[in-house]
Amino acid sequence: MTLTKPCKILIVPIYPVDLELVLTLPSQLREIFKCDVLLDNTNHLNLLSAYDSSREQFNSTKIISILLEKFKNFNGKVLGVISIDLFIPVLTYVFGEAQLKGKVSIVSTFRLNEITYGFPENKKLTAERLLKEAVHELGHNFGLLHCENYLCVMHSSTSVEEVDIKTASFCDECYKKLFGQISTEFNDHHNGE
């Protein structure tokens, strides 16, 4: 399935972040989502309001609000990438968060990195995990829910082991839903123009 003019994805590296990891994303996301993938170079966001000193973590929901405000005029999806530990209030941590059928998502490399678990750094593995989580959160932005197929990228993962099991691809069912969604969004944008 190909699209004549797909919608855009903007990757926003948020300091502190491992840029080397971020740079692995654009070409792969372009191939997976078959759309334009841009890299933001403003690289400055004030995250103070998202920091919880008692937990020493950043509230991902609040970072999403900051991104939403900053890129309110951008016509596409916005994916923030960061290397610090994220949480949502009721959970101890999250790998990332996305607005379901919304505009913004965020992923953290913190718990995808082997160093967090006391192992030597493995950049290749972290990059693979980051790609899977980035595709997963963007999938939510495009309206996909969690999938029961454990190989599908939309399968819910609450541990890195589960992230490692799944692939970076969509199962047939999610693929069909996704490209229906991208197509609809593209048409909506066109009709609005």
Partner 1 sequence: MTHKFSILVVDDEFIVRDSLSKWFTQDGYKVGVAENAAQALKLMNEGPWDIIFIDIKMPGMDGLELQKRIKEIDPNAIIIIITAFASVDSAVQALKEGAYDYITKPVDPDYLSHLVKNALKQKKLTDENIKLREHVSELVMGEELIGESPQIKKVIELAKTVAPTNTTVMIRGESGTGKELVARLIHAHSPRRYFPFISVNCGAVPDTLLESELFGHEKGAFTDALYRRKGKFELADGGTIFLDEVGTISLKMQIQLLRVLETKQFTRIGGNEIITSDFRVICATNSDLEQAVKEGRFREDLYYRLNVFTIFIPPLRERRSDIPLIAKYYLEKYATMMHKPITEISPEAMDILIRYDWPGNVRELKNAIERAMVLAKPPAIRPQDLPIQLIEEEQPENETLEAVEKAHILKILNKTNWNITQSAKILGIDRVTLYNKIEKYNLKRNRVA
Per-residue tokens: 90: 């009721």
Binding-site string for partner 1 from residue 168 to residue 187, where x marks contact by CB under 8 A and - marks none: --------------------
24 CB contacts (<8 Å, ≥6 apart)?
A: 127, 130, 131
Could you tell me the smallest distance in angstroms from the CB atom of residue 10 to partner 1? Answer: 22
Could you tell me the smallest distance in angstroms from the CB atom of residue 150 to partner 1? Answer: 12
Per-residue tokens: 53: 């000193």
Distances (CA, A) of 161 to 114, 140, 154: 11, 21, 15
CB 147 within 8 A of CB 166: no
Active-site residue flag, 128: no
CB 116 within 8 A of CB 47: no
Q: Is 55 in the site for partner 1 (CB under 8 A)?
A: yes
Per-residue tokens: 117: 């678990």
CA pseudo-torsion sign 17, 84, 8, 167: positive
Nearer to partner 1, 90 or 120 (CB): 90
Q: For tokens 């990228």, what's the residue?
A: 153
> Which pairs with CB-CB distance under 8 Å and at least 24 residues apart come from 183-190?
183/3, 185/7, 185/142, 186/3, 186/5, 186/6, 186/7, 189/7, 189/75
Judged by CB under 8 A, the chain residues 58 through 117 that form the site for partner 1 are: 61, 87-94, 97-98, 100
Nearer to partner 1, 6 or 108 (CB): 108
Nearer to partner 1, 55 or 123 (CB): 55
Q: Which of 156, 165, 172, 180 binds partner 1 (CB under 8 A)?
A: 156
Segment contacting partner 1 (CB under 8 A): 5-13, 17-25, 113-121, 156-164?
156-164
Q: Which of 20, 56, 69, 148 binds partner 1 (CB under 8 A)?
A: 148
For residue 16, whether the previous peptide bond is cis, meaning omega lies within 30 degrees of 0, is yes
Nearer to partner 1, 6 or 157 (CB): 157
Could you tell me the smallest distance in angstroms from the CB atom of residue 94 to partner 1? Answer: 6
Q: Which of 42, 116, 122, 159 binds partner 1 (CB under 8 A)?
A: 159
Residues that bind partner 1 (CB under 8 A): 55, 61, 87-94, 97-98, 100, 140, 145-146, 148, 156, 158-159
Catalytic center residues: 137
